[in-house]
Structure 1
């Protein structure tokens, strides 16, 4: 098969063909968007040799190359074609995701695709297309559109050059750049259809563990800069976590009628925004979480939950496996091979205090 056609076929599979998709238009934007991204990518060595390339970009690409080597040598992540090329997409995000949830539930709407399985989001390469789809959804749903700086093709395109580094994240703080690369490579290690929380929590665990190791061998200034960034993120995640738990308690309370739930939800959301304002007051003008807060609703809270729901369980598993990444991955693969209910039961044993929110009712 012609390589370009084969790549288009892979992109089409990743885009999906479920009955709740909107048709050929969605597939076409997925195929063409991914092809444009791949075609824009050039080997890192070419960028470094290009006299016209900005010095700052070359410095970041050198850093990214060392991060990529570290991913293999220290974290046992795949040694393949991914993240050895770079592309400037001339936009702020790789894709834009649409998420939706009912007004009194943290259960995400799902869309099903042949390769990715059923996931709680739907991605578009153009923000206008994402917004148009969001606007088309049932007005009883709470909907959000948010930018995504990187995505994984799960290793399916390594034969064609692999997932590239992108302008959408190359200038992130060094620790965050490392975490993104580690996270996306982790998806190539283990990926389970129809279990977004498992997949994202595993990748988040790898990014956190790997990020800590990377920073431990970095300069004191790099570590200090990242500590400021990460302290804010941890505080914000703690705030959103407590708000999710409060909302979940409201939505699942068998005593409350829908009107009362709606009233209590409004109070919880108002409290969330007040607490965020108090947090932000101590951040010296940093406003990075303003976009999330501005559109915060059930969909955004549920989508965020998928990224850290099972992290405590995976961290416990990593410790159980002697902090050995290869053994840890084998243990995760063994979990992935089990039926979903058995898999979740095993994770609960590893972290019994975890409370399921966004994914608890998914099939």
Structure 2
């Protein structure tokens, strides 16, 4: 992030200063656990984080290094705010390219006001923009990433899942393919959590909660597919604008109907609708969820063997992008067929 040759000087400056601040604030978790004056609640969360850290390396095949053995208490709610940008009539993200990480579909700011100012600059150019808070990020192994206070906002499963997700980025990363990287890390997070709960003797995730999550993601992805068809059509731009607004209004209404009629009024996803919907606010679903069922199918094909799975993912990441996408689409089709069939897959 801080080595981007094509970025503005002020962006590089804030990125470097933000990373330096995070590393300066980080202290060994062991010191906090040994401090008799430390907050017992914080100690309990950090002890659990270390347990999840060990589990990630011993059971999930993820890197065994000093990452997530230090803790940084941040002076703000989140560590970063990501700015997602798309053209008005396209779902293709505006990408930002970096020498080591390649091109990614968002830009992160350590200061919320700067992120909002950047969003306004893009909006003034007629672009769709979404600003999302980020509780954690990976330096892809260039630094020993610490635990962050922003990772502790939610429950223990969320904390463990973040550790699994970010370590997956350290384990393997493909330049110029955000959706591959995020979907891979999201699958590792989800499957890792299932095994983590099982090892701890905890019940599986509430099937109602799991179903709601799947249905909500599919609802958003379905709207993305409809918009993609609209933008690729022969309609003029004004007709596309009108169609876009109609589809986004229908999405909000469908969500409200599902929430109130199928999910017993659960408001767990209401936050996605706080700001007006646009192409950019739908981007995270295409990036973080697009290939998760494909990776799940690959994991099943390999007998749920983590070393074999990681090796196959690396092989898949090493082929040209068109061939990689073709293989993922085939896995996605297999996953759909398994879901729709009573036969064992």
Report the TM-score when normalising by structure 2.
Answer: 0.90
Task: Identify the match of residue 150 of structure 1 among 97, 120, 136.
Answer: 136
8 A Cα contact 2:217 2:289, kept in partner? no
- Using the alignment, how far apart are the partners of 1:89 and 1:250 within structure 2? 43
Match of 1:343 in 2: 324
Mean Cα deviation higher: 25-34 or 84-93: 84-93
Task: Identify the match of residue 309 of structure 1 among 290, 310, 326.
Answer: 290
8 A Cα contact 2:166 2:185, kept in partner? yes
8 A Cα contact 2:71 2:146, kept in partner? yes
Residue 191, structure 1, aligned to residue 173, structure 2: yes
8 A Cα contact 2:297 2:335, kept in partner? no
Give 5+ residue unaligned stretches, structure 1.
Answer: 1-10, 356-363
| 1:25-44 map, 5 Å | 25-44=10-29
Task: Identify the match of residue 248 of structure 1 among 210, 225, 228.
Answer: 228
Task: Identify the match of residue 257 of structure 2 among 230, 253, 278.
Answer: 278
- Using the alignment, how far apart are the partners of 2:17 and 2:185 within structure 1? 27
Give 5+ residue unaligned stretches, structure 2.
Answer: 337-345
Match of 2:99 in 1: 114
Match of 2:269 in 1: 289
TM-aligned CA deviation for residue 292 of structure 1 = 2.0
Task: Identify the match of residue 44 of structure 2 among 54, 59, 76.
Answer: 59
Residue 168, structure 1, aligned to residue 150, structure 2: yes
Match of 1:12 in 2: 2
- Judged with a 3 Å threshold, the aligned counterparts in structure 2 of structure 1 residues 209 and 49 are, in CA distance, closer, same or farther, namely same
Match of 1:262 in 2: 241
Report the TM-score when normalising by structure 1.
Answer: 0.86
CA deviations on 1:246-286 (whole Å, 9 max, x unpaired) are 222222223x2222222221111111111222344476776
TM-aligned CA deviation for residue 229 of structure 1 = 5.3
- Using the alignment, how far apart are the partners of 1:82 and 1:354 within structure 2? 34
- Secondary structure (helix, strand or coil) at the match of 2:296 reads helix
Residue 45, structure 1, aligned to residue 36, structure 2: no
TM-aligned CA deviation for residue 151 of structure 1 = 0.3
TM-aligned CA deviation for residue 207 of structure 1 = 0.8
CA deviations on 1:199-229 (whole Å, 9 max, x unpaired) are 11111111111111112223447x56x6665
Residue 92, structure 1, aligned to residue 85, structure 2: no
- Judged with a 3 Å threshold, the aligned counterparts in structure 2 of structure 1 residues 92 and 230 are, in CA distance, closer, same or farther, namely farther
- Using the alignment, how far apart are the partners of 2:170 and 2:266 within structure 1? 34
- Using the alignment, how far apart are the partners of 1:87 and 1:218 within structure 2? 27
- Secondary structure (helix, strand or coil) at the match of 2:38 reads coil
Task: Let me know the Cα RMSD of the aligned residues.
Answer: 2.1
Mean Cα deviation higher: 302-311 or 70-79: 302-311
- Using the alignment, how far apart are the partners of 2:220 and 2:325 within structure 1? 23
- Using the alignment, how far apart are the partners of 2:211 and 2:32 within structure 1? 34
8 A Cα contact 1:72 1:78, kept in partner? yes
- Secondary structure (helix, strand or coil) at the match of 1:317 reads helix
- Using the alignment, how far apart are the partners of 1:317 and 1:229 within structure 2? 24
- Secondary structure (helix, strand or coil) at the match of 2:2 reads helix
TM-aligned CA deviation for residue 231 of structure 1 = 4.6
- Using the alignment, how far apart are the partners of 2:66 and 2:239 within structure 1? 54
- Using the alignment, how far apart are the partners of 1:252 and 1:314 within structure 2? 28
TM-aligned CA deviation for residue 287 of structure 1 = 4.2
- Using the alignment, how far apart are the partners of 1:339 and 1:170 within structure 2? 38
